[in-house]
Amino acid sequence: MNSFPPGWYVVYTRPRYERKVATTLDLKSITSFLPMNCTLRIWGGKKRYVEVPMFPSYLFVFLDDVMKYYEVMKVEGFLYYVKFGKQIAKVNEAVVNNIRLIERQRTTYEITDEQFSPGRQVTITHGALKDLAAEVIGIKGKEKILIRVNLLKRNILVTLPQEIVA
């Protein structure tokens, strides 16, 4: 690991430690991204909206040198880097940017681990998701935008009006 390739990597944390790890990394000036999802929960008959991680136990970190790589490993709650074989897996920056756009939009979406056949490639032309490159697939008679996060074996399905897709 003499020349460390800068980029986004995925960290697997202890269950429910995602926020603690992200906060600690911020204090250490290491860039991290924890995508959150606002969901309705019911406790004792009371309904509340709570923010939960979009991908439980996963956190994206931007590393540009070996020292940061090892600093992340020292954080309480860190378990391991997601790897392909013996190499830590690097995430395409476009995937991280797409997830950021979806999270900011606060539109209706769902996270699924289903496998989908390739869909029609589109580019969003209007709204907050403008210039987002994605796929359109048909599910239950509706067309949805599909954003693949292959590294985590998850997909994000977004319901958007047809007129904003080119």
- Helical residues (DSSP H) of the chain, grouped into ranges: 18-27, 66-73, 93-105
The pTM for the full model equals: 0.83
Residue 20 forms part of a structural domain: yes
Beta-sheet pairing, 142-149 with 154-158: antiparallel
Q: Examine the pLDDT at 106 and tell me if it is beyond 70.
A: no
What CATH number should be reported for the domain holding residue 64?
A: 3.30.70.940
Give me the mean pLDDT over the 142-151 stretch.
82
User: Which band of pLDDT confidence, cut at 50, 70 and 90, is reported for residue 141?
Assistant: confident
Residue 2 forms part of a structural domain: no
Q: Which domain holds residue 73?
A: 7-91
**41-63 pLDDT per residue, tens:** 898 999 998 999 999 999 999 99
Give yes or no: residues 84 and 98 share one domain: no
* Confidence at residue 8, expressed as pLDDT on a 0 to 100 scale: 97
The structural domain count of the chain equals: 2
Give yes or no: residues 68 and 84 share one domain: yes
